[in-house]
Chains A and B, each alone.
Chain A
Amino acid sequence: MFRRDTTAEACFRLDVRTWLEANLPPALRNRTTRPLPDELMPWYHALSRKGWIAPHWSQKYGGMGATLNEQIIMTEELGRIGAPHLPVQGLNHIGPILMEFANEAQKARHLPPILAGTVIWAQGYSEPGAGSDLASLTTRAVLEGDHFVVNGQKIWTTWGHHSDWMFALVRTDPQAQPRQAGISFLLIDLHSPGIRIRPIKTIAGDDEFSEVFFDDVRVPAENLVGKLHDGWRIANALLGHERLATSNPQFSLMALERIKIMARASGIMADPAFQDRLAAISINVTALAALFSHAVELTNEQRSPGPESSIIKIFGSELLQDLNVLLVEAAGGLATVDRPIETEFGEVDVATPFLQARRVTIYGGSSEIQRNVVARRVLNLPN
């Protein structure tokens, strides 16, 4: 965004743009809810065949091994064309974690299907009684011979009912103090007997998440990642990746485009008061892009931004909400309409992205929890 492409980068951008224009089905563009697997996964597979599904994975693991600038160019081009949200639990969450913490057999078994899009992953952290206070989780895993037996419940599991596997935090030592020391990181085949999954409808009207019940589910001991009782450390490393990935400015850039279309269509674009707010928010989108490339730079240098990734999560998620508030304002009375609005500049959905945006300050650690983390661990304020 604030870079000028080198000649090679400009070529790459043109390649990406041309290929996306030719291959992303128009029906999948500018969607405000995630399409269902039947519609979405063929697009995942197409990206995978092209070799572009995992720009940030190293070539050693079958990824693209793209440079930082290439990753940012891809993000910008995906945003520009309005590409749909892919299921990212595999690509952005468990994938990088397996690379860091798993044994060779686990990597060999689980990484290729993520790239190919033949296995969909779910994240099993939250429980009815353990949200922000995740360390209080109670889903129990007891080692019996060469199997764990799992009992309990997970909730708010994104795409749980479409998923094949779950990476879960389970309690393996109920007596441990601190509580964090009794948690393990387990890979669970969701097609195993004893698992029941119920979709939950969201405020935006889609079945984006679900609850997952475990009733004497037998999980092979070889599916433990890392050491027994050492899952908390792994879970936290994972959250760093998640925060960074969900703060990708692509989503804000898409929202900004939506506002511009709506504002031209409604006529509010001519209002200097509106222009001022649009300028302010668009400058903040530029700032998010700067924060994001700064953090990606550090990550690429193997100097993880650590707890400071929380800053980007807060800034990016709250900005996305502000953008959607401005979208509603731009739409005026049309904001009441519960379906995409036809305008002379294109179709814009207003209510759905506005409602969808409410979740981004809740998942991946709420804004309040992130602020607690930054206050203590970055600013070193007292307890």
Chain B
Amino acid sequence: MELHLTSEQMLLRDSATKFVAAAGAKVARGFRDGVQSFAPSRLREAGELGWLGILVPESAGGLGLGLTELALVLEQAGRGLVCEPIGLAAISSAALAQGPNPHPMLEQAMSGTALVVPALQESGYGGNPFQPRARLTTQGGASRVTGKKLFVCADGAEGFLVSASSANGPVICYVARNAPGTTLSALQTVDGRKLSTLTLTDAPADIIPPNASSKNAVEALHNLALVALSAELLGVMEKAQETTFDYLRIRKQFGKLIGSFQALQHKSVDIYIRTEATRSLVFQIAANNTPYRIDPALAAAVKAKASDDALVVTQACIQLHGGIGFTDEHEIGLYLKRAMMLSSLHGNAAAQRREYVALAGLTE
């Protein structure tokens, strides 16, 4: 269903569509197994368009927009299999800007000249993101953090926003990549890019004070990450299904276009319904929550739904293509792989559902 957007929001979406026109499956393929996971110049371009500061208040030099605008941009990024980590950079900028005084890295992060990414996850299954095992200690005004973070999008990053537990509860702190006590070890991902394990041993850290409206900075950034990933997953499934429906309109078997077979039509409708449900959920949540205080049950709900649906949709897309869909050469597989990546990050569907039981008070 068409979205209910203001004219400014439509303009924003149009500019995101233009940006993405220069991306797409071919470009994403080019970054596979390469030295670099993305093009720094494109990240700066996104910065120039204002997207990396999309949630940052105008007083701190950002666009001061909301979750709907973030979702509109990331939906397009998902469609274009964009490799630049626009979503992670944008939510990190929002986090850097959230205290009474923005962190000194904010300006570079917003302009895309330095990439800052969240480092929140501590276990493959999700763990308890709200109570990190990483510890932050403060002595004589200087803070240090010790812990281990998984699946960090560290390629090309200058610094990290690390979640940790402190004497005052959960905190987010900034740790520079080249800080003492910081080591990274990279893993090759299914879509040919890299994610890293970040090990921190008494690494110097700057505490980022939370936004006044947040419960705490960890919850705020985690929930923001869930909504951002969901919006990107939405774009991935949209583009995958459109590519597939196009194929159903040209491929012939038994002397007929295969899109005329009722079995395939009904399967197509099933995946379309999933995409539409995820879209409505993403945009209704975006419209009804503020960036620094997203309802945690809804954040878990949308990530669970988007993760599940994106995998179902992209797998069905392979099936509807037949043999060509199983080849490395065909682009449809790239969408499945991107869906695998994004749906697994910050807690997959099963992990989100487990959180949701408690967050929504289901058993009470």
Contact = CB atoms under 8 A, between A and B. Distances in A.
A136 interface: no
Interface residues of A, number: 45
Contacts of B277: 284, 287-288, 290-291, 315
Interface string A282-295: 11101111110111
Interface string A7-47: 00000000000000000000000000000000000000000
A2 B268 contact: no
A146 interface: no
A279 B283 contact: no
Contacts of B4: 294, 297-298, 301
A305 interface: yes
B283 A371 contact: no
Chain B interface category by residue count: 35 or more
Interface stretch (A98-106, A220-228, A335-343, A372-380): A372-380
B348 to A, nearest CB: 12
B272 A279 contact: no
A290 B276 CA distance: 10
Nearest to A259: B362
A244 to B, nearest CB: 12
Interface in A46-63: none
Contacts of A286: 281, 298, 301
A378 B305 CA distance: 23
B59 interface: no
Choose among A2, A276, A372 the residue with the greatest number of B CB atoms under 10 Å from its CB.
Answer: A2
Nearest to B284: A290
Contacts of B245: 379-381
B128 interface: no
B1 A2 contact: no
A109 interface: no
Contact of B280 (A276, A290, A375): A290
A361 B148 CA distance: 50
B45 interface: no
Contacts of A298: 1-2, 4
A333 interface: no
B357 A294 contact: no
Contacts of A379: 245, 265, 268-269, 272
A311 interface: yes
Interface string B164-194: 0000000000000000000000000000000
A275 B353 CA distance: 9
B363 interface: yes
B5 to A, nearest CB: 11
Contacts of B272: 311, 374, 378-379
B357 A287 contact: no
Interface in A242-292: 260, 264, 269-270, 275-276, 278-280, 282-284, 286-291
B248 A2 contact: no
A382 interface: yes
Nearest to B285: A2
Nearest to A383: B260
Given A382-B249, A383-B260, A314 B288 contact: no
Contact of A294 (B1, B264, B273): B1
A308 interface: yes
Nearest to A370: B269
Interface string B336-361: 00000000000000100110110010
A303 interface: yes
Contacts of B301: 283, 286-287
B233 interface: no
A191 interface: no
Contacts of A381: 245, 248-249, 259-260, 264-265, 268
B215 to A, nearest CB: 15
A279 B257 contact: no
Contacts of B260: 381-383
A312 to B, nearest CB: 9
Contact of B353 (A4, A283, A294): A283
Contacts of B354: 275-276, 279
A287 B278 contact: yes
Choose among A270, A295, A315 the residue with the greatest number of B CB atoms under 10 Å from its CB.
Answer: A315
A374 B269 CA distance: 7
Interface string B32-67: 000000000000000000000000000000000000
Nearest to B282: A290
A383 to B, nearest CB: 6
A287 B350 contact: no
Contacts of B257: 382
Interface in A193-208: none
B1 A305 contact: yes
Nearest to A367: B266
Contacts of A311: 1, 269, 272-273, 276
Contacts of A283: 301, 304-305, 353, 356
Contacts of A347: none
A372 B262 contact: yes
The 9 A-B residue pairs whose C-beta atoms are closest, nearest first, are: A375-B265, A279-B353, A290-B284, A290-B280, A381-B259, A294-B280, A287-B277, A291-B280, A290-B281
Given A279-B353, A286-B298, A291-B277, 20 more contacts: A4-B288, A264-B363, A275-B354, A276-B350, A279-B362, A282-B356, A283-B301, A291-B276, A294-B280, A294-B283, A298-B2, A301-B4, A308-B1, A371-B270, A372-B262, A375-B262, A381-B248, A381-B249, A381-B268, A382-B248
7 contacts: A264-B363, A280-B353, A282-B356, A287-B280, A287-B305, A301-B4, A371-B265
Interface of B: 1-2, 4, 245, 248-249, 257, 259-260, 262, 264-266, 268-270, 272-273, 276-278, 280-281, 283-285, 288-289, 295, 298, 301, 304-305, 308, 350, 353-354, 356-357, 360, 362-363
